[in-house]
Amino acid sequence: MPVLAVFDAEGSWRETHVCDGRITERLARQGVAWGREDDAPEGQSLLDRATLFYVPAEDGYLGLLFEAGEWVSLPAAPLRPLPAALPNFDAFVEEVLMLTGNDAAEEN
């Protein structure tokens, strides 16, 4: 299940999306494409493990969590330092589990 989290410029969590349609729509505005193994473009590599990406957005950052077997195509973008407040992989997953009513302890 992909997850899209929207963060403001300081790195505060604002919104969370788990609906494929909303994720695809929001990412398209940033020049990001993604999908699952069965719709991967020719030659597109698949992720071999869950991976978190941060993409600069017009008013902050998008946090993108994808699972193994999914693919993502990110546009080339100028690098800028990420705010320290953006969560690392484990903290991101823990927050998503809490927001969706799951307990991280139950997932292990």
Q: Rounded to whole angstroms, how far apart are CA atoms 28 and 69?
A: 20
Q: Rounded to whole angstroms, how far apart are CA atoms 73 and 83?
A: 23
Q: What integer pLDDT is reported at residue 104 of this predicted model?
A: 52
Which domain covers residue 48, as residue numbers?
Answer: 3-100
pTM, 2 dp: 0.87
User: Is 91 within a domain?
Assistant: yes
Q: Rounded to whole angstroms, how far apart are CA atoms 58 and 5?
A: 14
User: Is 108 within a domain?
Assistant: no
User: Is 88 within a domain?
Assistant: yes
- Walking along the chain (108 residues) 10 residues at a time, the average pLDDT comes out as 95 94 94 95 96 92 96 86 95 93 58
Number of CB atoms found within 10 A of residue 43's CB: 5
Q: What integer pLDDT is reported at residue 93 of this predicted model?
A: 96
User: Is 105 within a domain?
Assistant: no
Q: What integer pLDDT is reported at residue 58 of this predicted model?
A: 86
Q: What integer pLDDT is reported at residue 102 of this predicted model?
A: 73
